[in-house]
Chains A and B, each alone.
Chain A
């Protein structure tokens, strides 16, 4: 009897540490965050926030009222984040796939090149992004030196960390940072493709480009499905890159939602509104993930 109980209890026992920590660090704070989003938690109440008055849906109404500046700038930030995420994830996957396929079979220097390609992923975020911000300086940076002084592509030195170009700068840094992860994952995915498939295709007279199109790309589809989701979540929530690149007030064109919420809560000291915005963001991410998983699993079923 005791043994039976032990057997049933064992998996729960094994899960206990993970579960306890997730509760403590993620779930409980999330619940607290949701509670805060219904409160008028401004600087007058942060000292004793249980005394802050309830506002019901006030914070949410303010966040989604697109006719008022707060809602409008949140909406702008949302679109910026969507465009940024689409571009960054798309380009990262494209570069990652290209590099993984091109480096599938051995050639001289492949090991070295692979190590070089993985560098951006291995570098600590702030070290890498600080370097980029140095390169993007208008008067002293490498980017303008090459574009303006050496290639004469621009009539004047553009700003990269201010104004509309900051979006380009942000996407560049983000792609630079995350394409190696795509490359790494896809390289791993390629190793699951049996060699015989290629040999058989070669026997049938398929050229290398056909082999890539017919064998490699379809075989990478399931890997890509996972990869896109993971990259999407990381990129959409990315805080470190814009924070190190632009500091506490990002230009409007690069006002990612994570920075926007940070500013709403920590710079203007309205933690209730910040929490409400975070909750909206979370709901959006849950929705996207659910729809994505639903669509991809249905397609996988259809494929099978």
Chain B
């Protein structure tokens, strides 16, 4: 019995000693970057192409160019979107991460708050060729207002309304809908014979929250007040979310099965002619991959409420991918050189051209490659009617909670349950109450 207790005590002491060292470790890794390893870089790219392998094939030749110019070897890892945020968190917690990484631009403020990313102050911007080279709206999505951005824009995207020209001809719809009333009316005409007016990606939390945000803007709802406090269940926000859910619930212009879509099945449906309209960010390359010719579809801005102006005339979020430098980098100068290289006009043209996105760098955007009918519309949207998602530290929680709330509302609607203002408000209130106090 006595030995038992001794054994237990020994185990406990051993455990605590190890814990103490474990606790201490975290702080040792919180130093800033240095240049102790100037010859190599690790770069985490996000999955922009048709597969991880496709991304490698696109990026490797460019990285070799960079190596020839600077002598710095870049080790590339393409991280799938499903893993990216977890991997960044792990890197942040451990201080062991890449030198340069891609982040979804909506995560900028959240990741900025962790302190893991290098702030781009004036001096840092000067090293990569200046802040003025970028479109202002894309810079606004790179960190909280009033703070130095935690990233620079790399690829820009915006939502557009894609419509199938052939399907529009049959009921004699001449122009794409400009208001929501028109969209619903057109959608009803197009919904017949197993085809639907619109396809939505209802099981995808991010898609849901993006649409909720844009519709919210159109109704005059802000999901965060000026002090950064969540305001998810304001009457305007409820109306916005209800309007989106009603596409399945009341208007019935989107197939109930869309509530389950979370792997881009709505793009497949649109490309296959099963749905006549789709709201998507730069769908061109995907549609091409599905065998749909650019002549077969048109692109217009996402509809507005009739007569919307000013702050309510928002048709898209500022979507895109940002490039960040990990604060713990062992090759600070090399990392900035790499950021400069990736945002150079030349590389911007090549990369955005391949991925079908828009260059956030002004000089690159004027290139002929980006003046296709599709990209012209999206570029206009980005320049005139796009708003950045709330740049607050709790943004990623907001995305998850509100996106999930919309997902369960869509599921309820698709299953034939009544969706009223009250049920929408209840879901949004629940989401708001789960936001961490900050």
Q: A interface vs B, CB < 8 Å?
A: 23-24, 27-28, 31-32, 35, 42-44, 46-51, 68-70, 73, 137-139, 156-159, 161-163, 247, 249, 251-252, 263, 266-270
A266-B89, A268-B397 are contacts. A44–B24 as well, Cβ < 8 Å? no
A43-B110, A162-B259, A162-B411 are contacts. A268–B16 as well, Cβ < 8 Å? no
A162-B203, A247-B262, A252-B408 are contacts. A47–B434 as well, Cβ < 8 Å? no
Q: Are B114 and A251 in contact (CB under 8 A)?
A: no
Q: Are B113 and A43 in contact (CB under 8 A)?
A: yes
By a CB distance below 8 angstroms, the chain A residues around B255 are 139
Q: Is B95 an interface residue (CB 8 A)?
A: yes
Binds A, one of B350-358, B362-370, B412-420: B412-420
Q: Which 8 A-B pairs have the closest CB atoms?
A: A162-B411, A69-B433, A139-B257, A48-B30, A50-B23, A46-B93, A28-B18, A249-B404
By a CB distance below 8 angstroms, the chain B residues around A138 are 256-257, 260
Give the nearest-CB partner of B259 in chain A. Answer: A162
A47-B92, A157-B257, A163-B411 are contacts. A31–B115 as well, Cβ < 8 Å? no
By a CB distance below 8 angstroms, the chain A residues around B15 are 23, 27-28, 31
Choose one: A27, A157, A161, A249; the contact of B400 (CB below 8 Å). Answer: A249
Q: Are A68 and B257 in contact (CB under 8 A)?
A: no
By a CB distance below 8 angstroms, the chain B residues around A70 are 433-434
Q: Are B260 and A137 in contact (CB under 8 A)?
A: yes
By a CB distance below 8 angstroms, the chain B residues around A35 are 19, 23
Q: Are A268 and B93 in contact (CB under 8 A)?
A: no
By a CB distance below 8 angstroms, the chain B residues around A251 are 408, 411
Q: Which residues of chain B in 174-229 are interfacial with respect to chain A, using CB atoms and an 8 Å cutoff? A: 203, 205
- A87 to chain B: closest CB distance in Å? 22
Tell me the bound Cα distance from A27 to B19 in angstroms: 10
Q: Is B309 an interface residue (CB 8 A)?
A: no
Tell me the bound Cα distance from A156 to B393 in angstroms: 43
Tell me the bound Cα distance from A219 to B92 in angstroms: 55
Q: Are B397 and A269 in contact (CB under 8 A)?
A: yes
By a CB distance below 8 angstroms, the chain A residues around B250 are none
Q: Are A159 and B259 in contact (CB under 8 A)?
A: yes
- B272 to chain A: closest CB distance in Å? 13
Choose one: A28, A68, A162, A249; the contact of B19 (CB below 8 Å). Answer: A28
A156-B416, A159-B411 are contacts. A49–B93 as well, Cβ < 8 Å? yes
Give the nearest-CB partner of A162 in chain B. Answer: B411
Could you say which of A44, A156, A249 has the most chain B C-beta atoms within 10 Å of its C-beta?
A: A249
Tell me the bound Cα distance from A43 to B116 in angstroms: 10
Q: Are A23 and B14 in contact (CB under 8 A)?
A: yes
- B220 to chain A: closest CB distance in Å? 26
Q: Is B1 an interface residue (CB 8 A)?
A: no
Could you say which of B15, B92, B205, B433 has the most chain A C-beta atoms within 10 Å of its C-beta?
A: B15
By a CB distance below 8 angstroms, the chain B residues around A24 are 18
By a CB distance below 8 angstroms, the chain B residues around A50 are 23-24, 26-27
- A297 to chain B: closest CB distance in Å? 20
Q: Are A162 and B257 in contact (CB under 8 A)?
A: no
Q: Is B11 an interface residue (CB 8 A)?
A: yes
Q: Which residues of chain B in 381-422 are interfacial with respect to chain A, using CB atoms and an 8 Å cutoff? A: 393, 396-397, 400-401, 404, 407-408, 411-412, 414-416
By a CB distance below 8 angstroms, the chain A residues around B18 are 23-24, 28
Q: Are A43 and B114 in contact (CB under 8 A)?
A: yes
Write out, one digit per residue, whether chain B residues 103-139 have a CB within 8 A of any chain A CB (1) or not (0).
0000000100111100000000000000000000000
Q: Are A47 and B19 in contact (CB under 8 A)?
A: no
Tell me the bound Cα distance from A42 to B434 in angstroms: 14
- A54 to chain B: closest CB distance in Å? 12
Tell me the bound Cα distance from A28 to B110 in angstroms: 30
Q: Are B115 and A47 in contact (CB under 8 A)?
A: yes
Choose one: B26, B205, B393, B414; the contact of A162 (CB below 8 Å). Answer: B414
Q: Is B307 an interface residue (CB 8 A)?
A: no
Task: Other than A32-B19, A46-B89, A162-B415, give 8 A-B pairs with Cβ distance below 8 A.
Answer: A23-B15, A28-B22, A46-B93, A48-B30, A49-B26, A51-B26, A162-B259, A267-B397
Q: Is B288 an interface residue (CB 8 A)?
A: no
Tell me the bound Cα distance from A268 to B26 in angstroms: 21
- B268 to chain A: closest CB distance in Å? 11
